[in-house]
Amino acid sequence: MSGIWETLIDLQTELGIRFSEQGYEIQEPGMDRFNQPGWVNKVWEGPTFRRAHIDVVDARETKGLWMMHVCVFPHINNAGPIFGLDVIAGKNKVTGFFHDFSPTVDHNDALVQEFGEFVSHFDWKKERELPDWARAIFSEHMIAVGNVNTIEELETLCELSIENCDMWLDSIDHSSRCTVDQGKAAQNRYAHFQKQNPHTPKTMTALGLNEEDVRVFVQHCLFPNLE
């Protein structure tokens, strides 16, 4: 499929523009270690979100693969969902495209329902079965698509993700409120189950990253716990 990587890099750029427009980039302690040739991490915070993170491993030249992880957390007194997006792609197809508004404190939050209604209009023919750790935190509406091998389908997924990012950023401040303790517990629960995903470290090391770097990154920087 011609243009797959270019399309995904455009998606990365568009999301970064939005986070910069509604927040500001920060330098998290310890993140410098994980900005290396072929590995880029950017973090933002803003009035309507606690943390937005884009993590890209560009192994196109060495492994023929490109991977991106995006996660945006609401402030800890906000009971709304977490915006999540993960993509891994080779030159000719996207092997995995995962996108969700994952519930935190309020599982009936209007944004979760709106996300479900929006994505229900699309016919996903390559849906993937989710493991237990994923079912523990992701919504029933999650997009989990594999083997995307047409540029038209990829463009639809990217456009959908951008529209959903705009919806999340514009609406998250209207979600119901919760206590700080409730928000911390819910977001730490999300991080805990994300760390149970065995594919994240395996994929990152397979892309050529140092195994110890990946271990520290996943535990402390990809999904950092709130104290």
Q: How far is the first Cα of the chain from the last one, in angstroms, to the nearest whole number? A: 45
Give the pLDDT confidence score for residue 220 in this predicted structure.
Answer: 93
Q: What is the average pLDDT value for the chain, to the nearest integer?
A: 93
Kind and range of the H or E element at 56? strand 51-59
In a domain, 215, yes or no: yes
The per-residue pLDDT for 120 is 84
Report pLDDT digits (tens) over 62-82.
999 999 999 999 999 999 999
- Judged by DSSP in three states, 40 sits in strand
The secondary element (H helix, E strand) that includes residue 117 is helix 110-119
Residue 127: predicted pLDDT? 55
Identify whether 178 is part of a domain. yes
CA separation for the pair 110, 106 (Å, rounded): 9
What's the pLDDT score for residue 147?
87
d(CA 162, CA 158): 6
Is 149 among the domain residues? Answer: yes
Percent of the chain with pLDDT over 70: 96
* Residue 9: other Cβ atoms inside 10 A: 15
Task: Give the per-residue pLDDT at 137.
Answer: 96
On whether residue 130 sits in a domain, the answer given is yes
pLDDT tens-digit series, residues 117-169 = 988 877 664 455 778 998 899 999 999 888 888 899 999 999 999 999 999 99
In a domain, 227, yes or no: no
Q: Which long-range contacts (CB under 8 A, 24 or more apart) does 112-115 make?
A: 112/81, 112/139, 112/141, 114/167, 114/171, 115/81, 115/139, 115/141, 115/164, 115/167
Q: For residue 207, give its domain range.
A: 4-222
Residue 201 predicted with pLDDT over 90: yes
- pLDDT > 90: what percent of the chain? 85
| Rounded Cα distance, 67 and 158, in Å | 14
Domain-located, residue 16: yes
Report yes or no on 174 lying in a domain: yes
Please give the structure tokens belonging to residue 139: 């919504």
Token representation of residue 83: 């915006």
pLDDT of residue 124: 60
CATH assignment at residue 133: 3.40.1500.20
- Residue-level pLDDT at 122: 74
How many domains, in total, are found in the chain? 1
pLDDT for 87 beyond 90: yes
In a domain, 109, yes or no: yes
pLDDT in tens, 1-17: 468 999 999 999 999 99
